[in-house]
Structure 1
Amino acid sequence: MSQPGTAPAPERTPAWRYAIGMFGTSIPINMIKGSMILYYVDILGLDVRAYGVVMVIYAVIDALDNPVLGHLSDRTRTRFGRRRPWLLVGAPMLAACMIAFFSAPASLEGMGLLLWFAVFAILCEAFDSMLNANYGALLPELFPQERDRAVANGLRQGFQLVALVISLAVTPLLTTQVFGTEDSTQGFQTTAIIYGAVALVVIVFMALSARESPRYSTRERPVLLRSVWSIVRNPMFWTVGLTGACYGIAMALVLSGIQLYVRYSLGLPVGNALYLQGIVILVSVVALVLWTRVVARRGALWTWRLAFAILAASFAGLFFATDLVTAIAAGVLVGAGWSGMLATNDLIVARVLDADAARNGQHREGLFLSAFGFFGRLNGIVTGLALTSLGVFFGYNSGDDPGADPGLAFRVYLCVYPFVLTAIGAVAARFVSVPIETPPAADETPPAADEPLDPPPAGPADESAAERPR
């Protein structure tokens, strides 16, 4: 009960109601990223060189429109909040574009197929960016204290892993056996319709459940160029952004190439990707609980560095796998490292957002997250160039022209490239520093004089100094 003369505390959003939104946002984009090469290149015969050009173009467009979408969200002022209108508009648009993406007419070939792929790939990525800029911005706003934030983040990553089981592990079974065949496209369209409907319902439910804080909508609206200039002058933006991109790009390569790794490198039907991806994701779910405890004991930064190193090592084992059993054994380590990155990466970014809000007095999470998203959008360029390189080095140009050794080609794509990226990230993470404390929100009551503050994470004596604001 509020004291006389004080405003009532805003209604809190239950962590699970926010977290479930990750389930809805993850299903569409991960089906797209996980199946686009199989669908367009291997089945429909789109040349990898054309695919690479499109990926570079849409990555550039997406990198440019992301900050604009985030900034528009920060400036939005409605009685429904800043983020909710964008979520309610973006959800049906992404669902519709995903269905169209996997509904290319059978008569299309050559330039017609290329244009269909390019238009709907760009639209899907744009609406996914709209959703994630607003959904991600809600995390520090709805849960200003790191303890609550860690719980909400752990739950949402759990929902994401459940979505990944469906959108990645189950999808090959649905598209090639339940609703279609190994060489047809009907299964992709049917699966996309089902996933689109599920994602729409979940995102709308989450958006209507979120209780945005009214105080954020009464602040001065940030100015785009001034805000961008402030962000790019922030050293933490570059160190955290570029290091995190090594992880994001590596996992983008894995998600896009896993089905063809199973087909060519392991010599198995694509449907067997269900078992490999399922084990990786199951391990990630279980390990997420353990990683969350490590974060509580040692801090997000220390845990982030450890997870980076484990993830890098895991790709070496995957390269030498010769059958489904050995691939699954290596996948256990991949799941452990990936889970650690899921548990920590967003917490590292959130600390940077907190420090920016405390320093500048403006809550511009949408723009800041979209600016971080610029680094993530590099994965479109890198995955496009990586796939194109398979044609140059191994002769893999499409499913119609796979070259002499497509198995080695996709070992390089799925294992060697991600290993190099995550090894660079693991080294760079050792030199990253972020604030250790989460600045309290302006409308929160400070603790009483005799109430102890949360202690800093336990760990080596120099760890706290590394995370302290400079």
Structure 2
Amino acid sequence: MTERSVTTPAPATAPWRYAIGMFGTSIPINMIKGSMILYYVDILGLDVRVYAGVMIVYAVIDAVDNPVLGFLSDRTRTRWGRRRPWLVIGAPLLAASMIAFFSAPESLEGLGLVLWFAIFAILCEAFDSMLNANYGALLPELFPRERRRAVANSLRQGFQLVALVVSLAVTPLLTTSVFGTEDTTVGFTTTATIYGAIATAVILFMAFSAKENPRYAEGARPRFFPTLLTIIRNPKFWSIGVAGACYASAMALVLAGLQLYVRYSLGLPVANALFLQATVIICSAAGLVVWTRVIRRKGAAFTWRLAFVILALSFVPLFFAADLVTALLAGLLVGIGYSGMLATNDLIVARVLDDDARRHGQHREGLFLSAFGFFGRLNGIITGLALASLGSFFGYNSGDDPGGQPDVAFRIYLCVYPFLLCTVGAVLARFIRVPEGLSEAEADGEMTLAAVRGTAADDETAQ
């Protein structure tokens, strides 16, 4: 048996090994959210009012299952850790659901098409929630020091942006030109199969690379209703949650409507969405380096508020874009604001988790993050209602019945609605008092105790 001093830190997870997991979790859900309107509404002819109804039901179900999944994760005690089993199970299930989602039989119509859409949309979101509740909970656990946490978060957001290039910018080209055509669905099935295999492999690699803190599993298993009551009584949960939901909902609208903005508002083939999406994503990736430096000098809270304002203002020039060139220039501004929110929003949420653990002595990141996920799940309601409003205001009901002003409709959907949401979020962020992060001494204490528990576990295994 090899002895090791208990004061020597246990082997830490390299930030990139954790961060790469974001690549795997992002590919499936971003293809789903980025192509579901094009696939079901514009190509298969699902009415936008039916789509909105399904999305509202789906959001309600998802808001309920999120806290339950997070709670079960917090209570999990296995030799493989609390989070790893859920990640290993959830990855192939999400991949299978995504493939089915984009494999609707051509014979389906009416109620059959609605049921297929509803069932697999809900399954995809449930398994995505399972993955992200556990993946997100690992960030504050693996990286208690905020500077190292900021690096890990920036890296994972960088991997997310790479995933966005693949799942958003490249997807229109693959589905409509390489594996299929503008008016068929076969390309979506092939693309989903490829993405599902890649995502599963990456998530499994990350799950087996992450070294969970064994001390976090030693506390009493949290109880559901007392913990949930503590969370909803925390004013920071509501204020930061609502502000974060404004940002997330705005970007969900952009994600869902960009391909149809290109088709109708710019009058270009859908495949041209590749250039606009790539511009936003590349700009966002480059901006992460700059925003991380701003965080180190000014702090996460200041940087978060600044990024909110820039993101809100960026939608103004995008509204007035008349062709691909002007849209690309506007996309650069969107990328700058989006990059700032990527670099800061999760750090603000992690501070709330740190504050809760410090005050209550329990690490219940899974349930807490899933409760925050409740606000994120409002995206489904907001995107559904926003799309339904296009039918009421502009006559766009589906690809078969686009009305007389689809160009204006998708300028409103992609620019005006996100601008309003981000403006509300920026105002809220200005007045929110963000909790302090862990001090250096507290972070060192977490790492030392992890080393003690890790050594003891190694010794027990060796004996």
1:133 equivalent in structure 2: 133
Query: CA–CA distance in 1 between the matches of 2:229 and 2:21?
Result: 31
Is 1:280 equivalent to 2:283 in the alignment? no
Give the superposition deviation at 1:436: 2.4
Say which structure is richer in helix.
2
CA distance in 2, matches of 1:112, 1:3: 64
Identity of aligned residues (%): 73
- Taking the aligned partners of 1:9 and 1:329, their CA distance within structure 2 comes to 48
Q: Tell me how far apart the structure 1 counterparts of residues 125 and 448 of structure 2 sit (CA, whole Å).
A: 40
Aligned to 1:152: 152
CA deviation map 1:198-226 (0-9, x unaligned): 00000000001110011111111001000
Stretches of structure 1 that go unaligned for 5 or more consecutive residues are: 447-470
Asked if 1 retains the 8 angstrom alpha-carbon contact of 2:9 and 2:448, the reply is no
Q: Measure, in 1, the Cα distance between the counterparts of 2:352 and 2:364.
A: 12
- Cα separation, 1, equivalents of 2:324 and 2:82: 47
Letter in 2 for 1:77: R
The CA distance in 2 between the partners of 1:253 and 1:301, in whole Å, is 25
Does the 8 Å contact 2:172/2:274 carry over to 1?
yes
CA contact (8 A) 2:73 2:134 kept: yes
Could you say what secondary structure the match of 2:401 adopts?
coil
1:180 equivalent in structure 2: 180
Aligned-pair CA distance for 1:6? 3.4
**2:387 matched to which residue of 1?**
387
CA RMSD of aligned residues (A): 1.3
Native 8 Å contact 2:63 2:373 kept in 1: yes
Tell me the SS of whatever aligns to 2:77: coil
2:332 is matched with: 332
CA contact (8 A) 2:308 2:337 kept: yes
CA spacing shift, 1:159–1:4, aligned 2, 3 Å: closer
1:376 partnered with 2:365 = no
Contact 2:175 2:181 in 1 (8 A): yes
1:61 alignment counterpart: 61
Q: Does 1:242 align with 2:246?
A: no
In structure 2, stretches of 5+ residues that fail to align are: 450-463
Please give the alpha-carbon distance, in whole angstroms, between the structure 2 residues aligned to 1:422 and 1:164: 21
Q: Which runs of 4+ in 1 moved over 6 A?
A: 2-5
Map 1:53-202 onto structure 2 (within 5 A).
53-202=53-202
Counterpart residue type for residue 29 of structure 2 = I
**Separation of aligned partners in 1, 2:85 and 2:3:** 33
Match for residue 260 of structure 2?
260
Give the C-alpha shift of residue 4 in structure 1.
8.3
Distance 1:78 1:445 in 2: 22
Distance 1:7 1:60 in 2: 48
When normalised by structure 2's length, the TM-score is 0.95
How many Å separate the matches in 1 of 2:305 and 2:178? 41
| Matching residue's letter, 1:143 | F
**Which residue of the partner structure matches residue 301 of structure 1?**
301
Give the residue type in structure 1 aligned to 2:393.
F
Question: Secondary structure of 1:430's partner?
Answer: helix
Aligned to 2:454: none
3-state SS of 1:404 partner: coil
CA separation in 2, counterparts of 1:4 and 1:314?
A: 54
Distance in 1 between residues matched to 2:170 and 2:347, nearest whole Å: 29
CA contact (8 A) 1:73 1:82 kept: yes
The letter of the residue matching 1:360 is H
Q: Which deviations, in whole Å up to 9, do the C-alpha atoms of 1:276-300 show, x marking residues without a partner?
A: 0000100001111000001111111
In the alignment, the residues of structure 1 paired with residue 4 and residue 375 of structure 2 have an alpha-carbon distance, to the nearest angstrom, of 48
CA contact (8 A) 1:10 1:213 kept: no
Residue identity matched to 1:244: G
Aligned pair count? 445
* Structure 1 residue 445: Cα displacement: 4.5
Partner deviation per Cα, 1:134-161 (whole Å, 9 max, x = no partner): 0000000001111110110010000000
* TM-superposed deviation, 1:5: 7.0
Q: Counterparts of 1:444 and 1:307 in 2: how far apart (Å)?
A: 31
